[in-house]
Amino acid sequence: LWNNYFHLTVAFLTHKTLQLESFSQEKRTKILNKYGDMRKNMGFRIRDMWYNIGPHKMKFIPSMVGPILEVTLVPEPELRKDTIPIFFDMMQCEHNFSSARTFETFENELITKLDQEVEGGRGDEQYKVLLEKILLEHCRRHRYLAQSGEELALLLSSLLEKLLAYRTITHDESPEHRMSCTVNVLNFYKEKKREDIYIRYLYKLRDLHLDCENYTEAAYTLLLHAELLEWSDKPCAPHLIPRDGEHVWTQQELKERLFQEIICYLDKGKMWEKAIELGKQLAKMHEIHMFDFMELSELLKKQAKFYEQIMHAMRPQPEYFAVGYHGLGFPSFLRNKMFIYRGKEYEWLEDFSLKLLSQFPNAVRMTSTAPPGDDICNSPGQHIQCFTVKPVLTVPQRFKDKGVPEQILNYYRHNEVDQFQYSRPFRKGEKDPDNEFATMWIERTTYITAYRFPGILKWFEVKSASVVRSSTHS
């Protein structure tokens, strides 16, 4: 009976004919004058009924988390303030009744439903602020939920920020912005070990890369899914199977299928070294564990072709560009941050800069490559810094002190890299009329990125930068 009551009242409250925000001002005023906002009264009834069912509340966790979330997302401030505290009551209830003294079931369900609701168009910045504020106020007054409750409140606020940015940017013309927001969301779910939602966003990212013909990045994205699987006959948990999965896979079957797809993308991206590395893993499985020599033969033929292409095929190596987004006018995921971008084949600085500036038509291109001052970083505008950087070669251990052909080394000059350098000349002191080079110095900046290239994006944030100055005269 209570279950029916809750679902009926939620269905009434969230019915599209009662959503006053979707009507014109004139129609809204007429309805309010004649009937008032019926959603508020119904919301108060839901709240009162919840508090009145006492110890029976646990029967409705997690099943009522989603419906209550729908109610709290209705954009009516009073209704939100009165119904969001139900979440705290659910946390308290599960904490008191569970043997582990946690509210893990509630938390997982709320994260799942929040992702669905925000992607469906509900939720806004005001909701994010109010949810955090109310949960923090309630948790901080509670002896046992002060720490864990505060952590959840801040976690939900962080998730909402990422989901709202993702939703806003999905209609953006720039695929790069959509990719950035997608990665922010999938990294959140990776940290929370929510593989089900994490995998969903991995495939969104893969599709964005394929639309842009970023085959290498599509391969590295799909590799993250493959890394969640074992080479075993264990059945796949449903959440590990991609949306286009046709039947129940074993982990080994799915991993092999993913490897084949990844190798195909790596071949298209001319990343034959990585394709060989994955092909060797597959070949080992077919030779030692599966005894499928026909498939092994096909894999070895592919590997032979890849080795030949490394030595003979034309393979233009990408340029790398440092980009700084300075000023408060940029979205939060770019604002006052520095990134290293991996260019496409035959993409030079001028072409790259024009493409970059077309995404920010109001931005000013900076002519200086020196770090900007506070006046620029704190300005309300947009200032873009863009210049070419050189990747720093790290020779693999197995090649050291050996006569390695240039075709093989060339790959490592531009791949498997996370350090980049930029040198700029500057004058120290007065110019010497007899020797103009006497006061010339070189400033060499080394940037280290958060991840190695290539990876799941064509750009990664600079996590550290160091500067060394030396005299050209010395």
CATH code at position 260: 1.25.40.410
- The domain boundary, picked from 149, 171, 193, lies at 171
Query: Whole domain around residue 297: which residue ranges?
Result: 203-312
Sign of the torsion formed by the C-alpha atoms of 292, 298, 302 and 305 = positive
Cα distance between the two ends of the chain? 87
Query: What is the four-CA torsion angle of 74, 79, 85, 87, rounded to 10 degrees?
Result: -20
Q: What is the pLDDT of residue 90?
A: 96
Residue 131 has pLDDT above 60, yes or no: yes
Q: How do residues 289-301 score in pLDDT, each as one tens digit?
A: 878 888 889 999 9
Confidence of residue 5 (pLDDT cuts 50, 70, 90): confident
Strand partners, 470: 442
Q: Is residue 196 part of a domain?
A: no
DSSP β-ladder status, 337-342 and 320-326: antiparallel
Q: Is residue 193 part of a domain?
A: no
| Whether residue 12 is found in the same domain as residue 148 | yes
- Give me the chain's average pLDDT, please: 90
Share of the chain above pLDDT 70, in %: 95
Share of the chain above pLDDT 90, in %: 66
Based on the structure, what is the number of domains in the chain? 3
| Whether residue 27 is found in the same domain as residue 110 | yes
Among 25-29, 186-190, 328-332, 425-429, where is mean pLDDT lowest? Answer: 425-429
- The domain boundary, picked from 312, 341, 375, lies at 312
Q: Is residue 182 part of a domain?
A: no
| Whether residue 221 is found in the same domain as residue 291 | yes
Residue 245 has pLDDT above 70, yes or no: no
- The domain boundary, picked from 312, 340, 368, lies at 312
Q: Is residue 307 part of a domain?
A: yes
Q: What is the pLDDT of residue 435?
A: 64
Q: How do residues 453-466 score in pLDDT, each as one tens digit?
A: 999 999 999 999 99
| Whether residue 307 is found in the same domain as residue 377 | no
Residue 368 has pLDDT above 70, yes or no: yes
| Whether residue 380 is found in the same domain as residue 449 | yes
Q: How far, in Å, CA of 342 to CA of 210, rounded? A: 16
Confidence of residue 271 (pLDDT cuts 50, 70, 90): very high
Q: How far, in Å, CA of 72 to CA of 317, rounded? A: 52
Q: Is residue 430 part of a domain?
A: yes
Strand partners, 420: 391, 447
Q: How do residues 255-267 score in pLDDT, each as one tens digit?
A: 999 999 999 999 9
| 45-60 mean pLDDT | 90
Residue 474 has pLDDT above 60, yes or no: no
| Whether residue 126 is found in the same domain as residue 249 | no
